[in-house]
Chains A and B, each alone.
Chain A
Amino acid sequence: MSQEHVKDLIPAYVLGCLDQDEAKAVQLHILDCLICQQEVKKFQLVVDQLPYAVRSCDPPDNLRENILLAADKASRQNHFNRSRHSWYHKIWGARIAIAWVGAATLIFFLIVTNLIQFQQIQQLEKSLDSAVSRAGNFQYVRLVGTPSTPQANGLLIISPNNLTATLIVDGLQPLPDRQDYQLWLIRDGKRDNGGVFNVIPTGYGVLLINSPKPINEYQAFGITVEPKGGSPGPTGDKVLGGNF
């Protein structure tokens, strides 16, 4: 399928009504097919306008007020958290200082121990870099979780040809059938689709990427939760991100 144009399937793909396998096949094909990418843009314009044709109905009178109150409350909560944090530090500042003195000896001991371990790690990293270099100049980008997914992490390994890469993630929640994780390749604020994937129950997942452009031209990478088959642009929450 990836060698043939998928024009017939694109209207349904954009509308989100392809079955899972078909959606993935289209996704794979459009990654490196400019003709079909144009078709996607063409029909996305139609789908984006469908809400305007929906029969209009009056929202409840109090909805506007409820939204503004909820927004105000969210802002106050953030402000309160920041203030409370500051107050807490003032009250406990003196006690923390005393604790610092008490802990100084322990910290000194830990620093010495860590220095020894740090030297050992540096030696190991040098060996690893050397091994990676010998393996053919692969580049890699680390992806880290967001405040909502602190346990998640990922590694993007970019092939020497700069057009293919492998994404490895761990610590992500497996998604229900109706959703996928989607990788975004970001350059000057513009996001290109990098493909969709899900993870196994242990939170581990792998995605092979065929990039439309050399990967080292992108400045950053992000992963969001999207409807099955992916979206033309990010709509869900970000779960992982990293910069080149």
Chain B
Amino acid sequence: MVIQTQNMEQNLIQLDDEALILAVVSKNTAALGVLYDRYGRLVYSLVFRILNDAAAAEEVTQDVFLQLWNKAWMYRSEQGKLSTWLTRIAHNKAIDLFRKNKTQPEISDQTWAEESEDKLADDLVVEEVIEMQIQALHLRKAISNLPMDQKIVLSLAYFGGMSHQQIAEHLREPLGTIKTRIRLAMMKLHAHLMNSNAVE
């Protein structure tokens, strides 16, 4: 039985996300396992950086993949990549839990990855994962080039789920300054990604 499951996963690992989603819709747990191998680390890392709590991150990651298991039929590939769908769900769930717990965001140098940091997934077979690694490289470079004050407000908004006003109060800076920093940071990231052709 174990050997059969392993053989099935070996076959499934070659499939693209869309084919795996069809297998998940038909309740194939091996396909869910392959998708976890592709995107589990990405989802867990995002949730962990928002919540700073390993147990809570584990719980939210499990919720995300169970949502994938139960509602895979809702995914539409023409609306975006599976990794984007999963990370949006993960971000929403983690920010909801974070706000519910009413904790203060802990933003540190450990939040964003270094340019040359480790890979996001162990499975480097399919196009989706290779593309994800390339995008990660471009974006990490773009973020490392941001001035520290822009990097901080971006982190507080994205990982802390804070509004302009809350960030201004948290940093004791004028609201207009915070708005400008957010806008500049996002414009620089977009410009960098366009120059590197990472987004189309």
Contacts and interface: CB of A to CB of B under 8 A. Distances in A.
Q: How would you classify the secondary structure of chain A's contact residues: helix, strand, loop or mixed? A: helix
Interface in B83-99: 83-84, 87-92, 95-96, 99
Contact of A12 (B96, B142, B183): B183
Interface residues of A, number: 50
Q: How would you classify the secondary structure of chain B's contact residues: helix, strand, loop or mixed? A: helix
Interface in A14-51: 14-19, 22, 42-43, 45-51
A48 B186 contact: no
A114 interface: no
Contacts, number: 171
A63 B57 CA distance: 10
A103 interface: no
A231 B62 contact: no
Contacts of B123: none
Interface string B169-188: 00000000001001101110
Contact of A67 (B48, B65, B154): B65
Nearest to A55: B113
B69 A71 contact: yes
Interface residues of B, number: 74
A56 B41 contact: yes
Given A19-B165, A71-B66, A49 B199 contact: yes
Nearest to B86: A51
Interface in A63-79: 63-64, 66-68, 70-72, 74-75
Interface of A: 8, 11-12, 14-19, 22, 42-43, 45-60, 63-64, 66-68, 70-72, 74-75, 178-179, 189-191, 226-227, 231, 233-236
